[in-house]
Structure 1
């Protein structure tokens, strides 16, 4: 009985290992999603940008700031290196419910230069760890509209919004703000018939040469 249990456990362990190895290397088909890239921040450590580009990474979204206080220390180096590697590049801001829109816009604009070659800026909308504020919907949409207007005036291009499922379920962003969406969902693309989107985070656990550890892998449909 113990032997049989041991065999079953070993088989389940091998299946789990095989699934993990498959998941860490998986990316959607290039036929359906020809443009594929990464989301990068200082959390990813030192990035070997030439290695990323050589493996077919088409673009990178690089975090500039989080809320009104944290300015990503690796942003300038990553921004310059992505451009030097011949990749397309854009800046992102992690929105915070615990900071004023004006402060968050200032943090972003201080970090991100005006660059006509850059991709549209992205605002990520998620519940920030350590921030317990939960304002009403009207207040959040008002602050977000202020933030969007300031960033768009700086960049000269419309922003893309990247809401998490739980943030969007609470605040129904699309009800008050008409902007292009970037959605997250590991392995299974969101239904484009139900909700239009232009980018999808297909995996937040992909491993790729040039980055130590898992990275968010983002794709654009044909």
Structure 2
């Protein structure tokens, strides 16, 4: 009895690839090309200047060396500089970045990374020590990302908000300007402060305008990884609401 020959899987008559397999290969190639294009596009995307004419960047030591003159040349109208964090930490590049921003003629502001596990007065003292008084500086920004879930000593939600208010009052006395709340999505979900604290909001969402604050935002981190010639690493690109 003659044995029936079987074709290799994915092969048509004459050993040629079947139409289905060729189609799958084309789709896979298109997916790769599309992914590369999306990555490149995001790395170089900035919001339209006609809608958001004022744009700038947030920089810190993690961004490596930043050329502030070049940053201004590529269209930055301002820069926020990571300055202090929690009760004792400070960004290693804060002094260098502040001096460079001033020398480049870029309006600048300082950012503190708030830690709900640490006392407000100690954090405010840290910020005040790092950030000099300067009437020309932009309103101070407070990054609210860290939750109190894993504090060594439990902190209630009410205490988080109360301590935050103490911190804001102290740094606003130092700077003479109301702070901007750089509010993380999870922080707002856990401690819904946007509706109760009358401060400008700074929200973050790549490419898509954020809405989790429940009210209009003042600043938006529109691209968390903009590739530029001004820095070794991709920068966080920020726009201002008209």
Per-residue CA deviation, residues 51-70 of structure 1 (Å, 9 max, x unaligned), is 11111111110011111121
**What is the Cα deviation at residue 7 of structure 1?**
2.5
Residues 141, 177 of structure 1: 8 Å contact kept: no
Residues 141, 176 of structure 1: 8 Å contact kept: no
**1:171-182 pair list within 5 angstroms:** 171-182=191-202
Q: Which residue of 1 aligns with 2:107?
A: 88
Q: After the TM superposition, which segments of 4 or more aligned residues of structure 1 sit over 4 Å from their partners? A: 191-194
1:100 and 1:119 mapped to 2: Cα distance?
25
Structure 2 unmatched ranges of 5 or more? 1-19
Residues 97, 131 of structure 1: 8 Å contact kept: no
Residues 83, 94 of structure 2: 8 Å contact kept: yes
Residues 202, 219 of structure 1: 8 Å contact kept: yes
2:95 and 2:189 mapped to 1: Cα distance?
34
| Aligned with 1:20 (options 39, 44, 47) | 39
| Aligned with 1:8 (options 19, 22, 27) | 27
SS at match of 1:174: coil
Between structure 1 and structure 2, the one with the greater Rg is: 2
Residues 41, 75 of structure 1: 8 Å contact kept: yes
**What is the Cα deviation at residue 194 of structure 1?**
4.6
| Aligned with 2:64 (options 45, 49, 57) | 45
| Aligned with 1:121 (options 119, 137, 140) | 140
TM-score by structure 2 length?
0.86
Per-residue CA deviation, residues 73-103 of structure 1 (Å, 9 max, x unaligned), is 1001101101111111000000012211111
Per-residue CA deviation, residues 12-37 of structure 1 (Å, 9 max, x unaligned), is 10000001111110000111101100
In structure 2, do the counterparts of structure 1 residues 61 and 78 end up closer, same or farther at CA, with 3 Å as the change threshold?
A: same
SS at match of 2:229: coil
| RMSD across aligned positions (CA) | 1.9
Q: Which residue of 2 aligns with 1:135?
A: 155
Residues 38, 60 of structure 1: 8 Å contact kept: yes
Q: Which residue of 1 aligns with 2:91?
A: 72
Structure 1 unmatched ranges of 5 or more? none
